[in-house]
Amino acid sequence: MAKERLYLDYNATAPLLDEARAAMLDAMELPGNPSSVHEEGRRARAVIGRAREAVGRLCQVPSAQVTFSSGATEAANHLLTPDYRMGRAALRISRLFVSAVEHPAILSGGRFSPDQVTVLPVDAEGRLDLLALEQAFAGHDASSGQAMLALQLANNETGVIQPVRAAADIVKTHHGLMVVDAVQGAGRLDLSLEGLGADFLILSAHKMGGPKGIGALVSAGETLMPASLLRGGGQEKGHRGGTENLIGIAGFGAATEVAAAALAGITATGALRDRLEAGLRDLAPDVIIHGAGADRLANTSFFSLPGLKAETAQIAFDMEGMAVSAGSACSSGKIGLSHVLAAMGADADLGAIRVSLGRGHTTDDVARFLAAFGTINARRIARRANQAAA
């Protein structure tokens, strides 16, 4: 009998939670359009309202400051624009700063032109260089418009947690705006928008066990907002046109409630990750664990083995019945050089394997992974010995 597959790729997408599935099935039974004034429409609208409140609680803001989108990429493109409004007054953003290790949805610059985007360096652990940030904002010509920083809360590949609050203090000193990609933080880190010092957060449901294709941007208030990306019938207070994805939003809301409660168990997840990395070092003393010297997400390990390509290792793990990643899973299945490793000064040609744990993983799962790793590593050692002898 074939062994059940072991899924270790929660940073790519978390399996759909039972709670989210139940909420989605219930929403499927509602015939009304959320914008309709009759009872059926009001029932549908109430589902969206409850989900909006759940997301607001997660980020510790009023529900009115939550705008639903089709996912984090849409939210990023909505927020990364030169055109904002402060109430009725136009506000111009003339420069976007991003770190070199951002997700491609942020690195692409959204609606800014390429010549308006500046990439800031990171250190060897993948953390934003705060001195470079200070110099960048101090040197910005405010007469052309304000500056914006878009920074991830935690890296999707390494799990390294960025110094978001310190960066926000620098940005605010220079009267800039700050967008935080909090996609990897839900259920793993405190997402208080005020505590982070951000003007906006970006969230994605499927990273926290909700459905794919639904996300949100969360704002620090209702006065400052970007120009609409999708214009239409005035849904989402005119910020995002189009009939709301009722089923996806219902699942998002349910997953958000689970994510808010999941923080209590994050220490146990960290202990599993530490056990896994101790096993990696025992089996392969030359293993390189990227970002190990920085604060990281408790569920994430990103490692390289000298002499073994990441894509080769990924295929080997897959054949052993395990789903791991060779970096980000957001390139239509393509495996290419990791811009994150390159920015950290690591060997991007070699690549790295990402293991990301989640709800329900056990010490037995870690032991099973390490057994497969031992087999793969033994083949690597034998191959290198044969090459040396040739």
Secondary structure letter of residue 185 according to DSSP: T
Residue 328 lies in a domain: yes
Catalytic residues: 330
CATH number of the domain residue 41 falls in = 3.40.640.10
Q: State whether 92 and 238 are in the same domain.
A: yes
Assess if residue 330 is contained within a domain: yes
CATH of residue 360: 3.90.1150.10
Q: What are the pLDDT digits (tens) for 83-141?
A: 999 999 999 999 999 999 999 999 999 999 999 999 999 999 999 999 999 999 999 99
- % helix / strand / coil in the chain, to the nearest 5? 40, 20, 40
Q: 242 with 314, same domain?
A: no
Write the Ramachandran bin of 96: left for phi over 0, alpha for psi from -120 to 50, otherwise beta.
Answer: beta
Q: Where is the domain boundary, 242, 261, 280?
A: 261
In a domain, 1, yes or no: no
Q: What tokens does 49 get?
A: 């309202």
Bridge partners (DSSP) of residue 285 are: none
Do residues 176 and 241 share a domain?
yes
Residue (of 317, 280, 274) closest to 298 by Cα position: 274
How many domains, the chain?
2
On whether both 328 and 218 belong to a single domain, the answer is no
Alpha helices in the chain (DSSP H): 18-28, 39-59, 72-79, 104-107, 130-138, 164-173, 193-196, 246-262, 266-283, 310-319, 339-343, 363-389
Pair 368, 6: CB distance under 8 Å: yes
- Give me the residues paired with residue 98 across strands: 119, 150
Which range of residues forms the domain containing residue 342? 6-15+265-389
Residues 58 and 137 in one domain: yes
In a shared domain, residues 30 and 132: yes
Residues 201 and 320 in one domain: no
Residues of the chain with pLDDT under 50: 1, 332
Round to whole Å and give the CA distance between 67 and 215. Answer: 9
Q: What pLDDT is stored for residue 328 in this prediction?
A: 54
Query: What is the pLDDT, as a whole number, of residue 332?
Result: 41
Same-domain status, 147 and 255: yes
pLDDT tens digits, one per residue of 274-313? 999 999 999 999 999 999 999 999 999 999 999 999 999 9
